[in-house]
Structure 1
Amino acid sequence: SCVSSLLAHYLFRGGLRSPHVHHFSPVIHFPHNSHMERYKKDLKSWVQGNLTACSRSLFLFDEMDKLAPGLMEVLLPFLGSSWVVFGTNYRKAIFIFISNTGGEQINQVALEAWRSRRDREEIRLQELEPIISQAVLDNPHHGFWRSGIVEEHLLDVLVPFLPLQRHHVRHCVLNELAQLGLEPREEVVQAVLDSTTFFPEEEQLFSSNGCKTVASRIAFFL
């Protein structure tokens, strides 16, 4: 995903291509629920082996809302209170779990803040953490459903992604044009914005897809 790519890029030279960045997708790496026991064994072995090779490894798990519950339990030893697991100090490792769960609730909080004339910067993390946690706990299809990782509070922080407004999407377009080595032509920027779907229907405030489709839309309007 775009988020995974950005995180890897800023944390490791080479981004997702770094040998110390390990990116997992349910659709690609864990597609069949009937193979769950094999996935558990393979994932535990992979994490353990790569932590032994590099204690500062980054493990990215995308689309947690599409991952079958139970698989993540093999990570408990690496996220628990012990400093050393299987002879390796894992505290330097980074585990990041990305999910769309709670998105509707986050959007509602952002919308209510806007209607109350509160800046999005005024929305506190403490307002959103319990909302996200509850959304995960209420979703039996989420990878963290009834997970010891959540129940034992082993996640250091929940980072909500607020919905993007029109000016945020504009920045994405300008940044993408710069990455392509192109001049920031206003007609292209405006065309991308005009083709982007915003919600709610009345206010047209937030981008339905964030900046996910910006690159492809730019190519269409060049």
Structure 2
Amino acid sequence: MVASISLNRIEIPAGQRIYLHDIDWQELEQILLELGDKRATRIAYFDGELEIRMPLPEHERAKVLISYLLVVLLEELDLPWESLGSSTFKKESMKAGIEPDDCFYLKNCRAMIRKKRLDLTIDPPPDLAIEVDLTSPTQISAYEALGVPEIWRYKNGKLVIFILADGHYIEVSISPTFPTLPVREGISRLLERSTEMLMSEAIKVFRQEVRQWLK
């Protein structure tokens, strides 16, 4: 007899994750339905392998701060944007699904206004995703399959920028979204200082720094 246990009965401590193997697409859809939308956990799925993780408070603070800093950059450059946060992005033909820590539409932002459902067979993937790697690495294979052009990953106390090239991610020193600005160094430096600052103070400091860059 094979035991069947509802996922709602499984508790995942903060900073931990569980892995489920040999999950087909129909099972993934059922699991997402069972987990529901109002949850703290996030999933990553690629080619039958499903990861369900529970972020730490430290993870959430870094995620929110990086997102705010990105918004500062976009505002100071007067660039349009739309965020869909940790929405579920999935595509059956690629056997891939991901819930980013945050994501932004830039080139395609106007197409996402009032979007209630995502269908990656017709909708574009986000232009930029943010991932905070504190306890384990991001599921890069899912991002490659879905074709997200740029990922900002916070790992080992630094911001690392990856761009998609020929179907695979490569690390770069300059964000193609902000080609003339020292984004990687500036945000990494601010994140290091932010441990002793309120988030509101950190954002003000960064905005002043960006304005110096733009002079």
TM-score (norm 1): 0.29
Q: Per residue, is there more strand in 1 or in 2? A: 2
Q: TM-score, normalised by structure 2?
A: 0.30
Higher share of residues assigned helix? 1
